[in-house]
Amino acid sequence: MASQYSLGIDPPSEILRLRDELGETWPSITKAHKAALDEKERLRAELGGFVPRDTSLVVFGSLARNEFTAKSDVDWTLLLDGAADPQHLDAALAIERRLVELGAIQPGTEGTFGGFAVSHELIHNIGGDDDTNRNTTQRILLLLESAALGDHRAYDRVIRNILRRYVVEDLGGAAESAFKVPRFLLNDIVRYWRTVAVDFAYKRRLRAGSGWALRTAKLRMSRKLTFVAGLLSCYSCEMDFADAEGGAGPRGILRVVDHLAKLVGKSPLDIVAGAVLGEPVLHDAARGMFTAYDEFLSMLDNPDVRLHLKKLSAEDADTDTTYVRTRVLGKQFHESLIHAFLDADTPVARLTRYYGLF
C-alpha cells in the first residue's frame, strides 16, 4: 500500500491540529479521543491471542471514531478473509466472553456487530437482493468508521478489495478518462445514510420508543458526521486525482484505491477537520460545527444524562430541557454543515451542488 500509515494504526489527528489552529479547547473531543486510543490499546493487548490466521478483529462505532465516552458500546466483528474454518466461531465466542469479562458494553440487539463477517459477501454483494441491510451496514462502516485491533492484514486486504470493486465498476469501460468523484461509492454511501434515517422509525416502533431520544441525538450528530466524512472522501478523488498520471487507467485506479484506503485509517472527525484545515473561509463554520459536537460528546460522557435520554419518551421530549438542548446542538451542527457544503465558495460546496442531489 502506498501510504505512510497502516490501516490498523491511528494516524496523527487532524481534529486536534484544527483545535490548536483555531485556538479552541474542545475538551470533550480531546478527552474522548484519548479514551478511545487507550481503550483500543487495552483491547489489542487483551484480545490479540484470540484472533485466528486470515482474520482481523475490527471495532466500529464511537471507539473506531475516536469518540469513546462513558457507557459507549464496543461494536466489533471478527472479519474473515480466507478459507472457512470451524475455529472461527469458537474464536468469536471467546472474544465475546473476554469482552464481557473486561466489562465492555455489548453491541446492540440488531445483530449487525458481534460474531463474524465474511469478506466474500462484503466484496461481491454490492447491490442486488443479496445485499442485506446488515451487509450494507458492515461494508460502509468498514470504510467510514472502523479500526483493526492487532493483526490488520486481513482487514487491509478486504478494505482494498471493496474499494477496488467500487472504483473499477464506476468506470464503465472508460479506461483512460479522467477520474472524478466515484459515483458508485458515493451512491452507496448516500443509500446507507438514507437507510439509517428510514430504519430509525422502524427501530422506534420495534423497541416501543425505548431509547428514542438518545438515538435521535446520535442521528443528528455522530451518524450525520460519518455520512459527511464519506462525502468528503468521495469528493477528494476529484479534487486530488482528476489530473493524476494515467487518468482512470490501471495506474490511476491504483492511486485512487491507495488514496481512499488511507482515508479509511482516519476518523470522521479527522476527515472533516482535514477539509477545513485547507480552507480558512470555513473556520467559522468549523467553530460552530465542532463546538456543538464537543458539547454533544460531553452529554454522552455523563452517565446520568445518557440514561435520562435513553429513558425519555417522545411525548415528554418537547418540554425536557436536556432533550431540547440536544436539538439545539443538532440544529447548530446542521446549519454549520449547510454553510460549509452548500453556501461557501469552495470546491467542497461546488462538488456538493453538482453531485449531492442528482
Give domain limits for the chain.
14-355
Confidence at 292, pLDDT banded by 50, 70, 90? very high
Q: What is the pLDDT of residue 113?
A: 81
SS3 of residue 62 by DSSP: helix
Closest residue by Cα to residue 207 from 69, 314, 106: 314
Q: What is the pLDDT of residue 114?
A: 81
Cα Rg, the chain, nearest whole Å: 20
Confidence at 240, pLDDT banded by 50, 70, 90? confident
CB 272 within 8 A of CB 4: no
Mean pLDDT across the chain: 89
Distance CA 233, CA 57 (A): 24
HSE-up (13 A, CA, CB side) for residue 249: 7
Confidence at 253, pLDDT banded by 50, 70, 90? confident
Three cell numbers, residue 113: 456487530
Q: What are the pLDDT digits (tens) for 84-137? A: 888 999 999 999 999 999 999 988 766 578 888 999 999 999 999 999 999 999
SS3 of residue 76 by DSSP: strand
CB 252 within 8 A of CB 179: yes
Q: What is the mean pLDDT of residues 5-22?
A: 74
pTM above 0.85, yes or no: yes
Distance CA 190, CA 202 (A): 19
Q: What is the mean pLDDT of residues 224-236?
A: 97
Q: What are the pLDDT digits (tens) for 181-227? A: 899 999 999 999 999 999 887 776 666 567 889 999 999 999 999 99
